Amino acid sequence: MEITAQMVKELREKSGAGMMDCKKALVESDGDMEKAMEVLRQKGISSAEKKMGRIAAEGLIASYINGNKGAMVEVNCETDFVAKNEEFKELTQSLAKGIAEGSANTVEELLATTCPELGKTVEEIIKEKIATIGEKITVRRFVKYEGNLSTYIHNGKIGVMLVSDKADETVGKDVCLHIASSAPEFLSSEDVPQEVRDEEKRIEMGKEDLQSKPEAIREKIVEGRLNKILAQRCLLEQAFVKDPSQTVKAYVEGKLSIIKFDRYVLGEGIEKRCENFADEVMNQIKG
């Protein structure tokens, strides 16, 4: 199969690897993009964390807590200019409050909810804001929790909401800050799905530095590597950002137990249109 420049470019953007490494990986995988990514990972050239396919869209993440009820929501718009607009900020914050205090459990249910003060549905209110602000506005996702809650929002771009068995404002805030910074995917190693374990093991077993070793030795080395990799993805086993000499589990021990958490990154997974500004102006001039 012919390996085109476009294929190399696409793999380079996804992996962060060099051009020649990407080309070699594509040749080795006969042009299969996913297999090429695996080849790069096995050679230690690329990692899942370097994928550049996720380009952030604009908007805000907001949270709201009142007593034992809380919610976190992501609302998207088209430009960062609008995301900084006070009217957009107020809309996002009011949506977070409405979600926490309301009964909607899906975006569809939220949009159909009527606001008693205005006598309009949330969908109608958003459409009015679109007309006023001049950009498309969408409620992308939200979570709502009940219990002992903590939250942290970083510049409207990263949001965290945490549920624990006890109320401790300082510890809860510290853990939220850690989650925002360290991006854990799971609470503990017991929560890692078997398919994730199997996939990571398969990747490690295929790495070049292990191919010449006996099977039994490879298994032991991979087991050690796998435990280390999964520990980095589990909240309780991560080194605590404010004191790397201890884990998060050690930090919270005797203070509270973490039940669950959510971490949002603005625009995660959304493809954002990118255009050359000069070309955009010329297109407008040409009509």
Domain harbouring 114, CATH code: 3.30.479.20
CB 123 within 8 A of CB 117: no
CB 123 within 8 A of CB 112: yes
Task: Answer yes or no: do 216 and 251 share one domain.
Answer: yes
Q: Which one is predicted more confidently, 120 or 17?
A: 120
Q: Give whichever of 42-56, 178-192, 264-278 has the largest mean pLDDT.
A: 178-192
Task: Answer yes or no: do 64 and 46 share one domain.
Answer: no
Statement: residue 125 has pLDDT above 70: yes
Task: Answer yes or no: do 208 and 243 share one domain.
Answer: yes
CATH of the domain at 12: 1.10.8.10
| H helices present in the chain, as ranges | 5-15, 19-28, 33-42, 80-83, 86-101, 107-112, 122-133, 169-182, 194-205, 215-233, 248-252, 277-285
Residues present in the chain in total: 287
Nearest to 204 by CA among 234, 228, 235, 233: 228
Task: Answer yes or no: do 67 and 130 share one domain.
Answer: yes
Q: Is the pTM of this model over 0.85?
A: no
Task: Answer yes or no: do 88 and 123 share one domain.
Answer: yes
156 located within any domain:
no
| Sign of the alpha-carbon torsion through 59, 65, 68, 69 | negative
Number of domains in the chain: 3
Share of the chain above pLDDT 90, in %: 50
Task: Answer yes or no: do 10 and 33 share one domain.
Answer: yes
Q: What is the pLDDT of residue 194?
A: 87
Q: How far, in Å, CA of 248 to CA of 179, rounded? A: 10
Task: Answer yes or no: do 118 and 196 share one domain.
Answer: no
Half-sphere exposure at residue 168, Cβ-oriented, CA atoms within 13 angstroms: 17
Task: Answer yes or no: do 82 and 103 share one domain.
Answer: yes
Q: How far, in Å, CA of 224 to CA of 212, rounded? A: 18
240 located within any domain:
yes
11 located within any domain:
yes
Nearest to 76 by CA among 264, 266, 272: 266
228 located within any domain:
yes
pLDDT digit string (tens) for 140-182? 999 999 999 999 999 999 999 999 999 999 999 999 999 999 9
Task: Answer yes or no: do 216 and 249 share one domain.
Answer: yes
* Strand ordering across the sheet containing 138-146: 58-66, 69-77, 138-146
The whole-number average pLDDT for the span 233-246 is 94
151 located within any domain:
no
Question: Domain span at residue 37?
Answer: 5-50
Statement: residue 15 has pLDDT above 50: yes
